[in-house]
Amino acid sequence: MTLTAGVDMGSTATKAVVLLDGRIAGTDARPTGSDPEQAGELALKTALDAASARIDDVERVVSTGYGRRTLGLADEAINEINANARGAVWLGSSLGRVRTIIDIGGQDSKVIALDPDGVIRDFAMNDKCAAGTGKFLEVIAQLLEVKVEDLGSLSAQSSRPAAIASTCVVFAQSEVVGLIARKVPRPDIVAGIHRAIASRVVNMARRVGVEPVVVFDGGPAKNEGLRAALEAELGLQVFVPARPQLVVALGAALVAADMVGGGGEEVG
Ligand code: ADP
């Protein structure tokens, strides 16, 4: 029996995945808040509880993400680009070779280009500007007084997506205030925001080159409208795993399993 765990210490959310003999046995996701280490410990404990396991049973814990070095319980800390690639290739293996990963997080976005054999060829990252991140969606959801979880279904009702000219969140925010004042329907505003984010992320993706199979992960990948906007902008189908926010933590748990010789089976 091989039990390993991955903890993704993101800037916005902390996620944990426990793997038992290469199968997902427990997971957790919670806000990172002001104490990343505590969030990591709690996420790990909750995922272990779900797997009916204790920390002493775990052969290796690998942390990743922005706050990875703060988790004292971790045996190893790895870069989130590597963890993301490992998780996405594993989950996407039933679709063919994963060649592009688009990861939109709470405060950054990344594009990872892979060789046909799954080795990282190049990557691009935006962590300087909130446009193209989950933060942008949160700001807009707040302005429109809707939950971020409901943006996807709202945008599906749009018939004329609003044009958003600003490439900066602060200015886009004022633009949205203006659209609300002009009584532009909320679905059209949200669809316009999805387009604006997709356009920004796809510009970054084109710099590293986009090849199918494309995987879209990170919390905002739960937003179906954003996935549709990315597909329209790319002119390609985009695959979203069942639990896109957990892909990086899963990748870390898989790397932990590789280290102890209990690598996960390919899915599908
Ligand atoms: P990070 O790893 O950078 O902390 P995540 O990949 O965990 O970020 O994503 C966090 C973001 O996911 C938040 O900004 C939040 O808005 C978004 N998010 C979380 N759940 C949902 C959902 N159900 N629908 C849309 N967006 C979501």
CATH of the domain at 254: 3.30.420.40
Instruction: State whether 52 and 152 are in the same domain.
Output: no
**Residue 235 backbone class (left: φ over 0; alpha: ψ -120 to 50; beta: rest):** left
Quick one: average pLDDT of 166-183?
91
Instruction: State whether 139 and 13 are in the same domain.
Output: no
- Cα(83)–Cα(91) distance, integer angstroms: 12
Asked if residues 22 and 2 have their Cβ atoms less than 8 Å apart, the reply is yes
The number of folded domains in the chain is 2
Instruction: State whether 76 and 101 are in the same domain.
Output: no
Nearest-CA residue for ligand 1 atom 22 is 149
Full domain range(s) for residue 250:
3-81+246-259
pTM of the predicted structure, to 2 decimals = 0.95
Q: Is the CB of residue 84 below 6 angstroms from any atom belonging to ligand 1?
A: no
Asked if residue 37 belongs to a domain, the reply is yes
Task: Give the pLDDT band (50/70/90) at residue 267.
Answer: very low
- The more confidently predicted of residues 165 and 186 is 186
Residue 254: alpha-carbon gap to chain centroid: 17
Is the Cα dihedral 129, 131, 135, 140 positive or negative? positive
Asked if residue 139 belongs to a domain, the reply is yes
Give, as one character, the DSSP assignment of residue 35: -
- In the predicted model, is pLDDT for residue 265 greater than 80? no
Give, as one character, the DSSP assignment of residue 199: H
Nearest-CA residue for ligand 1 atom 12 is 219
Q: Is the CB of residue 155 below 6 angstroms from any atom belonging to ligand 1?
A: no
Q: Are strands 23-31 and 60-64 parallel, antiparallel or unpaired?
A: unpaired
- In the predicted model, is pLDDT for residue 262 greater than 80? no
Contacts of 14 (CB under 8 A, 6+ apart): 7, 8, 29, 30, 31, 32, 36, 39, 40, 42, 43, 65, 67
In this predicted model, what pLDDT tens digit does every residue of 208-224 receive, in sequence order?
Answer: 999 999 999 999 999 99
Instruction: State whether 126 and 187 are in the same domain.
Output: yes
